[in-house]
Amino acid sequence: MWDIKFNPAKSQVITFGGRQLQSITITLDDAAIPWANRVKYLGCYFLGPSGDGDLSESIGKLYGSFNNILNVLGQNRDEILAVHLVKTYCLSAAVYVGEVWSSTSSALIVGSME
């Protein structure tokens, strides 16, 4: 009806809110779809079966961007320029992934960014 084609090689099965029934095999076009413990959706990773967000990659990218900015600017950096670059390259990433933050994952962002 909508002319949608699913690719079993690019598909995964995960459960949220219950136990994973990995003993069950789900197939698509006679190909078994593998079970996953973590899936990526709109750039954010989610863990099954809890549904918690896995922020480790996003936090790593945030720290990487921040450290790159400071490294490029060097020791005698202009603070206004540094703030502008951090707002431009780091804040948007933090706000985007911030939608999946939970109280259990807040400990991941505690620490020094110096």
Whole-model pTM? 0.57
pLDDT at 109 over 60: no
pLDDT tens, residue by residue, 32-48: 999 998 888 877 788 88
Residue 41, pLDDT score: 82
Structure confidence by residue, pLDDT tens digits, 50-103: 888 888 888 888 889 999 999 999 988 899 999 999 998 888 777 776 665 654
42 alpha-carbon distance from chain centroid? 8
CA distance 110 to 93: 16
Please write the tens of the pLDDT for every residue from 3-24. Answer: 988 898 889 988 888 776 778 8
In sequence order, what E strands does 1-114 have? 26-28, 31-33, 38-41, 44-47, 53-54
Asked if pLDDT for residue 111 goes beyond 70, the answer is no
pLDDT given at position 114: 40
